[in-house]
Structure 1
Amino acid sequence: MIEFKSGKQVDFYKIASSRTKILTLLFFWMEIFIKNVSFLFIDELDAYFHYSLSKFILETLFSNDNIKQVALSSHATSLIDNEILRPDCYFVLNNKGKIKQFSEITDKKIEEYHNIEKMYRTEVFEYE
């Protein structure tokens, strides 16, 4: 329940937007349940959030010592960032359902100082 200055109380879930509900659930989930998670998979993390919030959530998850592995899917190229993950931790799924690491689908050497999002956008990683 949320109580306004007027004293009126309203059920939070009846007035909150879908994104606010998801963010609230994610916050609750991260504070309560994540303490016992060693492997975490999130499908389309960025679907409801601004890229900077998605990036913050990932950084928070990656800094959690309890989580040993994180796998996620995303359509947001803004999350392809060397500050989030090493270049060898990014994979692409083709339209046939096959998955390959970025380094497997390019003949260019990938270094940590490269802008791998820009490389992805310019189709350095071609995989059909």
Structure 2
Amino acid sequence: MQNPDISELAKDSGVPASTLRYYEEIGLIRAVGRKGIKRVFTADVMDRLTLIGLGQRAGFKLREIAALMGRRDAPRLSPDALRARADALDLQIAELQRMRDGLRHAANCTAPSHLECPKFRRILHITKTRRRQGKP
């Protein structure tokens, strides 16, 4: 689609028009003109929206994505920032695997209750400690 207006872009991308306006406001995308009262974008804005969605799924915040992509047409992704996020994902994956294993153990534990299961108690303790430290 050549130069979609905001409603066409919202429909084709699945990103609400209000979100597209916000992305424009913070510099993630930019309109190239107007068709009547509607903003018009270049066709390559779909690539930027795809990169934004990928970045969000990888755990980047919008301001981080904006810094990675720059404010012009061609994104300049920082290899160092990408490596750092990949390292953070590795840590998160390892933590989630430990959590999964602990939950499976608790589900099959023969203790009279989950709160009497030593492994489940460790999960509770780790979660409580992380919450105090401001970590998810």
Task: Give the TM-score of the pair, scaled to structure 2.
Answer: 0.22
Larger radius of gyration: 2
- Structure with more relative contact order (C-alpha pairs < 8 Å, separation 6 or more): 1
The structure carrying a bigger strand percent of its residues is 1
The structure carrying a bigger helix percent of its residues is 2
